Amino acid sequence: MSIDWEKEVAHRSDELINDLTELVSIDSQRDIEHKTSEYPLGVGPAEALQTFLNFANRDGLKTKNVDNLAGRIEFGDGDEMIGILAHVDVVPGGPGWNTDSFTPVIKDGNLYARGAADDKGPALASYYALKIIKELKLPTTKKAHLILGTDEESEWVGMNHYMEKETMPETGFSPDGEFPAINGEKGIVSFILDFPKPSVGLVTKFNAGIRPNMVPQIASAELNLEFGDIDEIKSAFSKFINEFTDIKGKISVDDSIANIEITGKGAHAMEPFNGINAATYLATFLNKLDLNDSQKLYFSFIANSLHLDFAGAKLGIQNTDDVMGSLTMTPDIFTFDDTKSTILLNIRYPKGDTGETLTEKINSALPDGVSASIDGHNQLPHFVDANDPLIKALVGAYFDHTGDDTKPFTVGGGTYGRILKHGVAFGAMYPGDENVMHQPNEYINIDKLLKATAIYADAIYRLIK
């Protein structure tokens, strides 16, 4: 039986966009400051989860909410399960938007909102794929479980909780990457670099970064002018800003305090070279000023060992694998005040390294008095051979709808696909698309989303029929 998947999607396109508009209107970023026993990650992630499950309840599919941390939508018959793992949480809206990040706007065929591309749009496309298969009453021999997490952008608390309480499939995909398929994901680990407590001097505060997986777009510093001449600082800052066309800066003075801010460009930590790290630029400027030894230690390290070094060469961690590519490094969170001075590094590493080997290498490259330790959990590299039947089925569906014979590839991002023994990331970005995940003015192209829905429906049915 031949099925016109794209025609079936077109019949439901208005409903899909209406559901997506409702879903992206929810600010579902992690909010543990306001957590309760009922909402362990805050209200937003739980609200987005239940809203999504309500779509499935409306359409007659079986659902389960697992303690407001994860959820499941079930379809199909049989003992074997195929997993489709997506997430409803988002990174913060952040600065630089032309519109409110949680007020969806459709313009020029694109839907703009935080989470439109990462990952609410692709997640909903996967759901509509199941909905279409159900409504067409197609026979199946396997079950499909669409499993929704609420903390993918942080510590995967939701999906880890799901695995403790429920049975996780061994095979499947995550609609949280790119077509035709991502069959390899680098390891992901963050390090906290602890510097000695700084003594009183010119710089009283230095801050940048909001998440460990986002290149900081804005960095700010507070200077005590009892330790510096404001005219000299203004002159030096003006020359510095004029030297670099990719950054913007401003300086203001209030009595004996000067406030400096630099704006760069945010980016996903897996591709730090696509961003402009405002923090390392500002630190490079501050390093040119008259700092005491304890402050010089911090800012000179950033300027000389981290600035524009995306491969970690200056820390001795540069590594390239023939299959998975090169290690990338980005310093994403900076805290400097009279109580502590720290830097958080986010590293995406290929096969050949572990958290332990990286810890040893980094510590051996640090100045005296500075130490590095792993922050949070370390995700090991994940790889599935391109000849695996799963990948052949997914890529086959993609090719049949696009005619594009691009091969599966490896990325530095981390998706739920690595949870599954035979798991990959599959769409919904297309080759050559602008990567707007974690950036201001995030959007998803509506026509491409509808095409992805058809691809998902075709691919899922190939796996469960």
Nearest to 88 by CA among 62, 66, 69: 69
User: Is 151 annotated as catalytic?
Assistant: no
Nearest to 404 by CA among 378, 432, 437, 382: 432
- One-letter amino acid identity for 203? V
Q: CA–CA separation, 214 vs 97, rounded Å?
A: 16
Nearest to 84 by CA among 53, 135, 122, 126: 126
Sheet holding 187-195, edge to edge: 248-254, 257-263, 218-224, 203-208, 328-336, 341-349, 187-195, 371-379
Please report how the helices 121-135 and 446-464 are oriented relative to each other, as an axis angle in degrees rounded to 10.
50
- Residue 145 corresponds to which tokens in the numbers above? 């479980």
Look up tokens 């599966």; give the residue.
408
Residue 266 near residue 439 (C-beta atoms within 8 A): yes
Q: CA–CA separation, 107 vs 204, rounded Å?
A: 44
Q: How many residues belong to the chain?
A: 465
User: Is 152 annotated as catalytic?
Assistant: yes
Nearest to 9 by CA among 174, 167, 125, 97: 125
- Residue 319 corresponds to which tokens in the numbers above? 């590594």
Residue 331 near residue 309 (C-beta atoms within 8 A): no
Q: Among 19, 118, 152, 178, which one carries the catalytic annotation?
A: 152
* Secondary structure (DSSP) of 260-327: EEEE-B-EETT-GGGSB-HHHHHHHHHTTS---HHHHHHHHHIIIIITT-TT-GGGT---EETTTEE-
Q: Among 8, 89, 153, 271, which one carries the catalytic annotation?
A: 89
Q: CA–CA separation, 427 vs 441, rounded Å?
A: 20
What count of Cα atoms within 13 Å lies in the side-chain half-sphere of residue 212? 22
Nearest to 76 by CA among 142, 135, 130, 132: 142
Q: Which residues are annotated as catalytic?
A: 89, 152
